[in-house]
Amino acid sequence: MGDSLSGGAPGRIGENPQAGCGAPVRASLDTIVSRLRYDLANVRIDQIIGAGPDPVFSFEFFPPKTPEGEENLYAAIEQLRPLDPAYVSVTYGAGGSTRGKTLEIVSRIRDEFGLEAMAHFTCVGATVEELRTTLDEMSRLGFDNVLALRGDPPAGQEEWTKTDGGLEYSAELVELIRGDYEFAIGAAAFPETHIHATSAEEDLRHLKTKVDAGVDFLITQLFFDNAAYFEFVARARALGVDAPIIPGILPITNVAQLHRIASLCGAVIPDGLRRELDARADDPEAVAELGVAYATLQCAELLAGGAPGIHFYTLNRSPATRAIVSALKLLRPWESPLAANAAPAG
């Protein structure tokens, strides 16, 4: 879920503009405070969702490929941290290509930033023994949550194929985790149907199988038409899927980038939105302004309609997500008269 594209605002976490012997001490104290804050708030994500009157906001990041990208990542996390996300997640990379880096980033976010962080985990390119080794490492590091996914094929490989000695379906990965580990388990859901599914009905049956295998909560693939989410939740509930379903939202900041991502995951761009974006294609600032406005309205409607939270695909950037979440926390659409009459959607 959420193809990773590098970028973000420049900056270096940990640099102190005040030179002198006090800087290292201050950095050390900041780390201790973050660690204490995390220890006091360390809970499973399935215990966070629905625990209070407010929805949960969460952010997704991806492991950068360059030192500059890594600086941008931690700068974005620092800028988003004041929004107090319920948790953040870190992707795994196509074919499990960032396995070690994902665990490193999750550990650093938890230890240095005091945020609950969840690793994505796929069964691509790994035997069952290798999967267990990684799960054991997650346990050793103190992780409490994992997002179990089948995963995308390695770079240059169009079709997904099972690894010899490995697993074929995400439901099998969920069964493996649930059987021997204490993690809270998240999984993916697809309001507009997974691109490799033969039908929406088949896709929903696979979802039910995953949840029955031990999934605690679901995060959807990105979408831009809220009707797709509400209809999907209704169909899932009718089939007996009772796990919370958190909508995944991508703030639009670049038209070409949007088209690439949508083509990879099968997300439908509504005609009206497409027209407005194309009319601004040569004005990046206007595109970003429209993207923030559209995502804010989209999230407000979802939350007023009973969605349990919003998961933002940040693409390792902070400005758009920061503006949207700040506006939502001011408006509190989940407390509107419409929300009071709405049944829980997610």
pLDDT digit string, tens, across residues 193-234 = 998 899 999 999 999 999 999 999 999 999 999 999 999 999
Instruction: Kindly state the average pLDDT of the residues 20-30.
Output: 43
CA distances from 151 to 22, 90, 108, 167 (A): 46, 13, 23, 11
pLDDT tops 90 at residue 314: yes
Expressed as residue numbers, the domain containing 319 is 43-340
Asked whether residue 37 is assigned to any structural domain, the reply reads no
Asked whether residue 299 is assigned to any structural domain, the reply reads yes
pTM: 0.86
Determine the pLDDT at residue 97: 57
Determine the pLDDT at residue 29: 52
Asked whether residue 8 is assigned to any structural domain, the reply reads no
Determine the pLDDT at residue 251: 98
User: Which pLDDT band, with edges at 50, 70 and 90, does 154 fall under?
Assistant: low
- Please, which residues have CB within 8 angstroms of residue 10's CB and are 6 or more apart in sequence? 68, 71, 72, 75
Asked whether residue 36 is assigned to any structural domain, the reply reads no
pLDDT tops 90 at residue 132: yes
The two three-digit tokens of residue 34, written as one number: 């973050």
pLDDT tops 90 at residue 38: no
Catalytic site residue 159? no
Please report the beta strands in the chain, taking only residues with DSSP state E, as ranges in sequence order: 56-61, 87-90, 117-122, 145-149, 184-189, 217-222, 245-249, 309-313
Angle at 301 between CA 300 and CA 304, to 5 degrees: 85
pLDDT tops 50 at residue 21: no
Asked whether residue 345 is assigned to any structural domain, the reply reads no
Asked whether residue 243 is assigned to any structural domain, the reply reads yes
Q: Which of 15, 60, 158, 159 is catalytic?
A: 60
Determine the pLDDT at residue 278: 94
What DSSP element (H or E) covers 41? helix 22-41
pLDDT tops 70 at residue 24: no
Number of domains in the chain: 1
- Report long-range pairs for 326-331 (Cβ below 8 Å, ≥24 apart): 326/83, 327/296, 328/57, 328/296, 328/299, 328/300, 328/303, 329/83, 331/300
Asked whether residue 144 is assigned to any structural domain, the reply reads yes
Cα–Cα distance for residue pair 66/73, rounded to 1 Å? 10
Domain with residue 113: its CATH number is 3.20.20.220
Cα–Cα distance for residue pair 333/69, rounded to 1 Å? 35
CB 300 within 8 A of CB 333: yes
Regarding beta strands 309-313 and 145-149, do their DSSP bridges make them parallel or antiparallel, or are they unpaired? Answer: unpaired
Sign of the CA dihedral 257, 263, 269, 273?
A: positive
Asked whether residue 18 is assigned to any structural domain, the reply reads no
CB 319 within 8 A of CB 246: no
